[in-house]
Amino acid sequence: MEPLLGVKIGCLFALLVLTLICGLIPICFKWFQTDRATGRHRRILSLLGCTSAGVFLGAGFMHMTAEALEGIESEIQKFVIQNRTKSKGNSSDDADSSNVEYPYGELIISLGFFFVFFLESLVLQCCPGAAGRSTVEEQEWGMAPGLELHSHGPLPSPSQSPLRALILLLSLSFHSVFEGLAVGLQLTVAATVQLCLAVLAHKGLVVFGVGLRLVKIGTGSCWAILSILSLALMSPLGLALGLVVFQGDSEGGKGLAQAVLEGVAAGTFLYVTFLEILPRELAGPEGPLAKWGCVAAGFAFMAFIALWA
């Protein structure tokens, strides 16, 4: 038990340090600031942003959504089996089997998506001026009014970006807690190290993308550093919780509640990815095929990591 505990403590510090380093790199180095970039430097940052968008897309589909669907399905099956054994009814088998076949996981993820959609719609309803897009922003992204037809659609308004950045951080925080919890609940050293390496491999890229996103939307340095620090603490927090409840399996609906929360977090993450990150990165006149290649490369890397995650 002592070697396993030592490995888990080492994983805790590795998750904390790597997340901090990867998240603070775009914030602390002026090279990543798009407002000071011109020419080739700006194009490189644009392609780097597209790669991070692909990473977000891969993390949303290959990790968060996949894990949420698997967790919700397994927990619902456990719940149905427990009800069958308790009631021992002879006429409820058909109803139970049809309930299991219903796409509950997809429904919960969609509820997370629509929750953020409703939240932003409520903000825009209460603040109608937030829907506008300034000409300064169009010029910043190289989009003259006459070239608007060649873009991929209007960019999200500046007032929505902080809200979406907050939602992005919250959804990733939920997911990070559950990742750390999974590492903390492993029973062997080999399984702990394998899962921790898989988490580290995609966590570093995702947090780097978060830092880059905070820089692009103009978040102040203090708030950006505080956001990365809070995000970095989530996986170690989950791992510590896993150590505390090492022997405790999902009892009394606790596992189902965790799976539902992870599903809602996946839905919110997908909303921000498709309506904030991808539109901003794909907007702009330079290199559509190069941008597609960067997005595809980021997604492919996350799909490759999913073989071990």
Q: Domain for residue 90, yes or no?
A: no
Q: Domain for residue 294, yes or no?
A: yes
| Residues contacting 289, CB < 8 A, separation 6+ | none
Residue 245 to residues 60, 241, 278, Cα–Cα distance (Å): 27, 6, 39
pLDDT at 99: 53
pLDDT at 283 over 60: yes
Q: For 29, which DSSP code?
A: -
**303 is written with which tokens?**
């799909």
Kindly report, residue by residue over 93-111, the tens digit of the pLDDT. Answer: 554 444 567 888 999 999 9
Q: 88 — alpha (psi -120 to 50), left (phi > 0) or beta?
A: left
The predicted model scores a pTM of: 0.70
**301 is written with which tokens?**
């890397």
Q: Domain for residue 24, yes or no?
A: yes
Q: Percent helix, strand and coil across the chain, each rounded to 5?
A: 80, 0, 20
Kindly report, residue by residue over 186-200, the tens digit of the pLDDT. Answer: 777 877 887 788 778
**77 is written with which tokens?**
């099956």
Confidence band, pLDDT 50/70/90 cuts, at residue 142: very low
Q: Domain for residue 181, yes or no?
A: yes
Confidence band, pLDDT 50/70/90 cuts, at residue 89: low
Q: Domain for residue 163, yes or no?
A: yes
Kindly report, residue by residue over 8-21, the tens digit of the pLDDT. Answer: 888 888 888 988 89
Residue 137 to residues 46, 83, 144, 264, Cα–Cα distance (Å): 15, 57, 10, 32
Residue 160 to residues 116, 156, 191, 218, 298, Cα–Cα distance (Å): 11, 7, 41, 13, 25
Confidence band, pLDDT 50/70/90 cuts, at residue 85: confident
Radius of gyration of the chain (CA): 21
**153 is written with which tokens?**
């659609």
**36 is written with which tokens?**
């000071």
pLDDT at 121 over 90: no
Average confidence score pLDDT of the chain: 76
Beta carbons of 199 and 15 less than 8 angstroms apart: yes
Range of the domain at 273: 2-29+54-85+103-305
Average pLDDT over residues 132-143: 40
pLDDT at 157: 46
pLDDT at 129: 54
Of 157, 142, 276, 132, the C-alpha closest to 209 is: 276
Kindly report, residue by residue over 229-265, the tens digit of the pLDDT. Answer: 888 888 888 888 777 765 455 455 567 777 888 888 8
Confidence band, pLDDT 50/70/90 cuts, at residue 6: confident
Q: Domain for residue 46, yes or no?
A: no
Q: Tokens 């506008």 identify what position?
A: 132
Number of domains in the chain: 1
Q: What is the rounded distance in angstroms from the CA atom of residue 218 to the CA atom of residue 224?
A: 9
pLDDT at 297: 93
Q: Domain for residue 37, yes or no?
A: no
Q: Domain for residue 39, yes or no?
A: no
Confidence band, pLDDT 50/70/90 cuts, at residue 300: very high
Q: Tokens 């001026």 identify what position?
A: 129
